[in-house]
């Protein structure tokens, strides 16, 4: 078998939701970290309304991989064509196509095709297994959300909190980046382990204590952008009430200091609401609970970052 041989895989799955809803989830790649377990972060680099260029981060076999993808969106045919411009080994080329077919019963058929070449013939089987596993996870993620499309406004919530800090952005960023120091500095952090084998990519496991004394264990991947004053993250192991959680620490400097913003995006786990909050609890209560808990912890962290940064500034 030649290393330049083109390989093709195709995976399809029915989704009990309108084709327009399904296509919308596929087309909005920036939200994929909320929908797909392996996707960590998607950064849109260019967009002209029909074509876009994205940088994507995803997990594979315990590692975080990153690549550039170009996509052509066609809502008329409900298709998204893509091509990786800088595929990572063992891939040497990767392209593909999403299609969403409308069925007579108002359900949909989603198909994901990949065309690829590999570095050596022995890599083909590994890539095929990874693509099959990823396609299965992606189809499941699309189906889980699309089939509850009438509830999406209740299941998905986004919010942010901000704290004004009279200090340079680099002092604030230092506090947010050095998570290894958090257990000694942040009261609600009981345990934290972090590894950073690739500069700017942190793998973190953390135990946090809530106001009622409960301890939640989470695992996260953090992508750090020091020059932009941003750290984005995805929790890969979430508390029971959340099916997905992504977020961002963002520093907005001005002439006198910086505004530090903590932003959260959450998909609620509907089936866990009563188990976590008690019999009769509903999604509205779950939204309030998550908003208050996440907001309280991230705002507390920002206030500690403020103390740290302003002290450093006073010390000169």
**H-type alpha helices, 50-96:** none
Lowest mean pLDDT among 41-45, 129-133, 154-158: 129-133
**Average pLDDT of the segment spanning 24-51:** 94
pLDDT tens-digit readout, 301-311: 999 999 999 99
To 10 degrees, what angle do helices 19-27 and 123-146 make? 130
pLDDT in the model for residue 19: 97
pLDDT in the model for residue 4: 72
**Any idea which residue has 């089939």 for tokens?**
147
pLDDT band at 229 (very low <50, low <70, confident <90, very high): very high
Is the whole-model pTM more than 0.75? yes
Asked if the bond preceding 57 is cis, omega within 30° of 0, the reply is no
**Any idea which residue has 């997905």 for tokens?**
244
pLDDT in the model for residue 119: 86
Partners of 70 in the β-ladder? 53, 83
Contact 15, 22 (CB under 8 A): yes
pLDDT tens-digit readout, 61-98: 778 999 999 999 999 999 999 999 988 888 899 999 99
Report residue 265 as tokens: 């995006």
Average confidence score pLDDT of the chain = 93
pLDDT in the model for residue 2: 45
E strand or H helix at 286: helix 283-315
C-alpha 94/C-alpha 19 separation (Å) is 26
Identify which has the larger pLDDT, 280 or 87. 280
pLDDT tens-digit readout, 93-114: 999 999 999 999 999 999 999 9
User: Strand 242-254 vs strand 39-47: parallel, antiparallel, or unpaired?
Assistant: unpaired
CB atoms within 10 A of CB 141: 21
């Amino acid at each position: 078998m030649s290393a330049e041989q083109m390989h093709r895989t195709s995976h399809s799955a029915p989704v009990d939701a309108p084709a327009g809803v399904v296509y919308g989830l596929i087309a909005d790649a920036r939200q994929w970290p909320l929908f797909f377990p392996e996707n960590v972060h998607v950064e849109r680099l260019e967009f002209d309304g029909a074509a876009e260029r994205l940088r994507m981060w995803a997990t594979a076999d315990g590692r975080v991989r990153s690549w550039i993808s170009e996509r052509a969106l066609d809502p008329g045919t409900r298709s998204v064509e893509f091509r990786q411009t800088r595929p990572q080994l063992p891939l040497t080329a990767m392209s593909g196509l999403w299609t969403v077919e409308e069925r007579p019963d108002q359900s949909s058929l989603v198909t994901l095709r990949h065309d690829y070449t590999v570095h050596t013939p022995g890599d083909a089987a590994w890539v095929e297994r990874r693509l099959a596993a990823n396609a299965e996870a992606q189809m499941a993620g699309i189906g889980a959300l699309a089939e509850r499309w009438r509830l999406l406004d209740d299941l998905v919530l986004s919010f942010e909190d901000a704290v004004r800090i009279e200090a340079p952005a680099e002092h604030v960023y230092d506090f947010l980046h050095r998570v290894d120091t958090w257990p000694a500095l942040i009261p609600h952090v009981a345990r934290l382990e972090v590894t950073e084998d690739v500069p700017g990519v942190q793998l973190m496991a953390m135990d946090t204590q809530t106001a009622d004394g409960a301890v939640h264990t989470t695992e996260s991947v953090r992508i750090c952008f020091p020059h932009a004053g941003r750290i984005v993250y995805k929790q890969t192991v979430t508390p029971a009430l959340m099916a997905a959680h992504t977020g961002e620490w963002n520093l907005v400097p001005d002439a006198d200091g910086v505004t530090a913003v903590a932003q959260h995006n959450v998909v609620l786990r509907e089936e866990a609401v009563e188990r976590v909050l008690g019999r009769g609890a509903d999604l509205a209560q779950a939204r309030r609970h998550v908003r208050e808990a996440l907001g309280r912890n991230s705002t507390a962290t920002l206030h500690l970052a403020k103390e740290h940064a302003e002290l450093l500034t006073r010390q000169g």
